[in-house]
Amino acid sequence: MSAKTTNPKTTTATVTPHKIHEVVKYPDPVLAKPSEKVTEFTPELAEFVEEMFETMYAAQGIGLAAPQIAVSKQITVIDVSFKERPEDKIVLINPEIIDRTGKQIEEEGCLSLPDIREKVARASWVKVRAQNVKGEFFEVEGEELLSRALQHEIDHLHGILFLDHLSLLKRDLVKRRIKKLQKNGEW
Ligand SMILES: [Zn+2]
């Protein structure tokens, strides 16, 4: 998910030890494909998660799912505070929404759909069960923005984009806008 501010914070050119990946854009087929479960919890997985955080921050995002960097695995990272609060950094491996309630309709963006923002209806609160980088199960609850980020990122792991939640008419308009941008070499 992309940060709310369209005016990104200027990032200083510090050297990061973690690789930054390229974020793939809609309509790359990897975004529409359900991801595979993670079965091996290795040091390489922990490193990959760090790369995901670096990639997300570099792209000014508050959430990133592995398919967005062309890795079709059930891994997602979220930081709704964008580096402000370390405790907000969440790593979800093989996550599942186990409870949800309420409704919220807010504008959403996606790193794979740059500059497209549309209102999306989501549950206002969700509870998620997932594994951490060591393979240990845990639960996390979120409301408002965190709830939206959790739903948005977990959707990615099932090949679902926020576009898929829009009305047919709205989705068509957005798709036409993207086609136009592609034609002009701006996508
Ligand atoms: Zn997204």
pLDDT value of residue 3: 77
CA of 57 to the centre of ligand 1 (A): 14
The answer to whether residue 44 is catalytic is no
* β strands within the chain, DSSP E: 63-65, 75-78, 90-101, 104-110, 113-122, 125-131, 137-143
pTM of the model: 0.92
111 with 24: CB under 8 angstroms? no
At residue 16, does pLDDT exceed 70?
Answer: no
What tens digit of pLDDT does each residue of 72-100 get? 999 999 999 999 999 999 999 999 999 99
What does the pLDDT read at residue 2? 85
Superfamily of domain 29-183: Peptide deformylase (3.90.45.10)
Cβ contact 90:49 at 8 Å: no
Q: What is the pLDDT of residue 6?
A: 52
Please tell me the predicted confidence (pLDDT) of residue 107: 96
Mean pLDDT taken over the chain: 94
What ranges do the domains of the chain cover?
A: 29-183
Neighbours of ion ligand 1 (CB under 5 A): 110
